[in-house]
Amino acid sequence: MFRRAFLDSVLGAFGTVVFVILQEVVLPVWVHAEEKNSVEASHPNIIFILVDDLGWADPGFHGGDAKLTPNIDQLARQGMQLSQFCMTPVCATSRSALLTGRYPFRQWMDWRSEDFGKPDYLSLLDIPLATLPDGTPTRRIHGLDPQERTLADALKEAGYTTAMIGKWHLGEWLPEHLPLARGFDHQYGHYGWGIDYNSHLIPHNAPQPLCVFDWHRDQQPVLETGYSTDLIADEAIRLMTNHADKKVPFFHYVAFNAIHGPLEEIPRHRDVFDKRSAAIKCLDDAIGRMMQAVDQLGIAGKTLVFFTNDNGGLTEEVNRPWRGTKNTTFEGGIRVPAVLRWPGVIRPASVCNELMHVTDIFPTLVAIGGGISEQAYLLDGWDMSPVIFEGKKSPRTEILIEATGSVRLPSIRSGRWKLIGDALFDLQRDPGERDDVSEAHPEIVVELRNRILALSAERPPLGELSEVMNPALPYVYGKAENKSVSEKIRSHVERSRRGQQQNWEPGKYPWPAPPRNGQITYEGDGR
């Protein structure tokens, strides 16, 4: 059995997926050989649209309700679907991977979200709960390593203007973790994870049960009225309109919080759809408005649009036919819808069936933008532009899905094989991951287990954990922003706090139970 003591694996380490073929033939992109050089030299505008917690089966082009996603479906008809595109199992890790081209464990981002009021997990790492000098529970400060070179850094070096719009989730307190210090010229949206769509408050601030304001423009808190999905689209349209006639290309990272919880009252569609479906329809409306703006501004031919999702949906129903959900390493947790649109360059209604991973986004977009991928830090991603533009085979045969030292089961895909904890799946024969064949292939289990451990050994030291969020209950996220909060925002937060339930209980959260007895073992569906 693949049983490893959690602490031993962490300390020792430091000293998908074969997919069902959607098309019989990989359709090549719409670029003639004589056009290739002009494509490479074109430095297109890049709009990267990342949505949150959408399931594989939610879009109409994957068999979902077409009434909910007409604009997303149109995007797929106008561009290329990536049928074998994988993210990581959760939000923050996917975001760190796409911006750095590196596996999240290299920045401890796979651990980062476990310091959010989850004492059971912290105890496995032998890390005490964070407190202020007076004993008040608070959070440790953690975010994307400031030494990491981001996609925004690389494209900015290549001559792009850059903007981060929407959900950040790579550090919400120290200035060095925030977008303006990570290569972005402009920031708009929220730093943390699950904001209220209307009030723009984080309704839970574990380990304290009180809300914090989280809506910022250029890292200054701004009190605005509106549904967050609409506001994010409005800002994206405003920025692309301002840049449409400029010679300098732009990179806009548009990260919607939709359809992540909490799903609150929605200004429209609730008379027709349930709350989740209405959130999807509002998201689709927003993306439709963005694409309409691109077309009306006359920049479609020089603009690459990349649409995808950060992880699997919350239920297996919305991830069908794949097993598993968000926060698991089954296909349902990592396999996501992905579409590329570039009129005149990418062939409409085409499908690429080659294996790709979120870490491939960095080198691919940097190559398309004419930038330099080479850097001091090791890249785990591959430049997939030859795959996309020339119909070549993917160079990727392996994906480290989860390293040791995280709360999720150590998992890896290599060729036809996928190891999840103790369980081995033959994805060529069993893409639904229903039949554990580990007893029949013990040598493959050992080989893949050793590969996980070898990669995990590359995890850097954690470093100091002394810095904590102070005050424990800030009015707004952002250390600098919290020092001078306007009376309007202060009153907004206080009114919400007075009406907020204040019965937070350690260990009561919608996450998998921690490994028992300090050990990670495969059991059931991993949830």
Query: What pairs with residue 418 in β-bridges?
Result: 413, 425
**Would you state the pLDDT for residue 75?**
98
Confidence of residue 121 (pLDDT cuts 50, 70, 90): low
What single-letter amino acid sits at 141? I
**Would you state the pLDDT for residue 228?**
97
32 located within any domain: no
Q: What is the 3-state secondary structure (H, E, C) of 397-455?
A: CEEEEECCCCCCCCEEEECCEEEECCEEEECCCCCCCCCCCCCCCHHHHHHHHHHHHHH
Question: How many structural domains are present in the chain?
Answer: 1
Domain that holds residue 380: 4-20+41-520
Per residue in 33-60, pLDDT tens? Answer: 334 434 444 699 999 999 999 999 999 9
Residues 6+ apart with CB under 8 A from 295: none
- Contact yes or no for 30/288 (Cβ under 8 A): no
Instruction: With H, G, I as helix, E, B as strand and everything else as coil, classify residue 65.
Output: coil
Per residue in 496-525, pLDDT tens? Answer: 999 887 665 544 443 444 444 433 333 333
33 located within any domain: no
d(CA 410, CA 408): 6
The CATH number of the domain where 464 resides is what? 3.40.720.10
What count of residues does the chain have? 527
DSSP 8-state secondary structure symbol assigned to residue 150: P
d(CA 131, CA 171): 19
126 located within any domain: yes
Q: Is the dihedral of CA 477, 479, 483, 484 positive or negative?
A: negative
- Contact yes or no for 144/170 (Cβ under 8 A): yes
Give percent above pLDDT 70 in the chain.
Answer: 83
Give percent above pLDDT 90 in the chain.
Answer: 71
- Contact yes or no for 278/65 (Cβ under 8 A): no
Residue 4 has pLDDT above 70, yes or no: no
29 located within any domain: no
28 located within any domain: no
46 located within any domain: yes
| N- to C-terminal Cα separation, the chain | 19
What angle (nearest 5°) sits at the alpha carbon of residue 31, between those of residues 25 and 338?
Answer: 55
pTM for the full predicted model: 0.89
Per residue in 274-331, pLDDT tens? Answer: 999 999 999 999 999 999 999 999 999 999 999 999 999 999 999 999 999 998 999 9
**Would you state the pLDDT for residue 111?**
75
Per residue in 183-235, pLDDT tens? Answer: 999 999 999 988 999 999 998 777 677 899 999 999 999 999 999 999 999 99
**Would you state the pLDDT for residue 438?**
97
Residues 6+ apart with CB under 8 A from 398: 412, 413, 414, 415, 451
406 located within any domain: yes
- DSSP letters, 448-482, are HHHHHHHHHTTPPP------B-SSSS-SBSSHHHH
Paired tokens of 160: 């792009």
